[in-house]
Amino acid sequence: MPYLRLLVDPPAEAAWNMAVDEALLAIAEAPTLRLYAWWPHAVSLGWFQRLADFADLPPGTRIVRRLTGGGAIHHGDELTFALAVDAELLPHEVAASYPLLHDAVKDALASCGIACERLAAGPAPRARPGQRWCFADPGRDDLVTARGKLLGSAQRRVTQPRPRVLHHGSLVLQPPALTPFVASLADAGRPIDRERLRREVAAHVARALGLQVRQGLLSGAEGALAADLCGARYEQAAFTAQR
């Protein structure tokens, strides 16, 4: 059976995280799921958002621009995942791919004893957000609890050198400082088994794609491209401020 390469990375700086994800979108040969976190905590802007709209953030806030659309996210204590695959592994319609992947995460959470729902109504995912914060605007197919939005996702699709998809997802473990209104796994009032959570998310996403999980590492070529992208794009103030 074809496999899903799983990368489990330690917390890393914002620019590096975004550079690795773009490198995976560009040259990963196998379907790849990357699970990671952020340190220091940072804000990622959706591709179409204006940096000027975030001038009120506390001084020293680290800001990076994502390759994917949607609203901004304050990445604190969370499980972030990046799925980089050939487009043929996902439904052709962008909107149809969200319930497939979000149901996989919902089932993974259920396996960990955490209940949530996927919204069946509301606005479809939008590359250009209606509000500046992703988690302030629950929409169709988002995962939610009674407290609010628990999972935020966004995509980037490219056609060259072949049709490819990057799907970003942020699953909140503890509410971050800049968006305390979000739902989180901590709302359940019990310790979070982070290793089990990663394992279940990987297993259920792989199952949804008809693949088996295989642990892997970033290749030399992927790491080299990520380093180039980090220095040339994601660490550059001009790139972050390009809109």
Q: How many CB atoms lie within 10 A of CB 171?
A: 22
Q: In sequence order, what are the residues at sequence separation of 6 or more whose Cβ sits closer than 8 angstroms to the Cβ of residue 88? A: 163
Tell me what pLDDT residue 122 has. 76
Element containing residue 222 per DSSP (H, E): helix 220-229
Give 185-234 pLDDT, tens digit per residue.
Answer: 999 888 999 999 999 999 999 999 999 999 999 999 999 999 999 999 99
When pLDDT is cut at 50, 70 and 90, the band that residue 131 belongs to is: confident
The pair of structure tokens assigned to 126 is 């939008």
pLDDT of 121 strictly over 90:
no
Higher-scoring residue by pLDDT: 126, 54: 54
Tell me what pLDDT residue 104 has. 98
Q: Which domain holds residue 28?
A: 3-240
Mean pLDDT (the chain) is 95
Peptide bond into 40 cis (omega under 30): yes
pLDDT of 128 strictly over 90:
no
Q: How far lies 151's CA from each of 3, 80, 116, 216, 221, in Å?
A: 25, 10, 10, 25, 31
pLDDT of 124 strictly over 90:
no
pLDDT of 14 strictly over 90:
yes
pLDDT of 151 strictly over 90:
yes
Give 48-106 pLDDT, tens digit per residue.
Answer: 999 999 999 999 999 999 999 999 999 999 999 999 999 999 999 988 999 999 999 99
How many whole angstroms separate alpha carbon 207 and alpha carbon 100? Answer: 10
Active site residues: 134
CATH number reported for the structural domain that contains residue 129 in this entry: 3.30.930.10
Q: Give counts: helices (H), strands (E), the chain.
A: 5, 11
pLDDT of 129 strictly over 90:
no
Which of 136, 113, 110, 112 lies closest to 123, judged by CA? 136
How many whole angstroms separate alpha carbon 135 and alpha carbon 182? Answer: 6
Task: Tell me how many degrees the CA angle 172-199-92 measures, rounded to the nearest 5.
Answer: 75
How many whole angstroms separate alpha carbon 119 and alpha carbon 102? Answer: 10
| Count of the separate structural domains present in the chain | 1
177 CB-contact burial (10 Å; exposed 0-12 / middle 13-18 / buried 19+): exposed
> Quick one: residue 70, left, alpha or beta (phi over 0 = left, psi -120 to 50 = alpha)?
left
Beta strands in the chain (DSSP E): 3-8, 32-36, 42-45, 63-65, 73-75, 78-86, 117-118, 143-144, 149-158, 164-172, 212-215
Cα end-to-end span (Å), the chain:
43
pLDDT of 1 strictly over 80:
no
Tell me what pLDDT residue 152 has. 87
Q: What is the four-CA torsion angle of 176, 181, 183, 188, rounded to 10 degrees?
A: 90
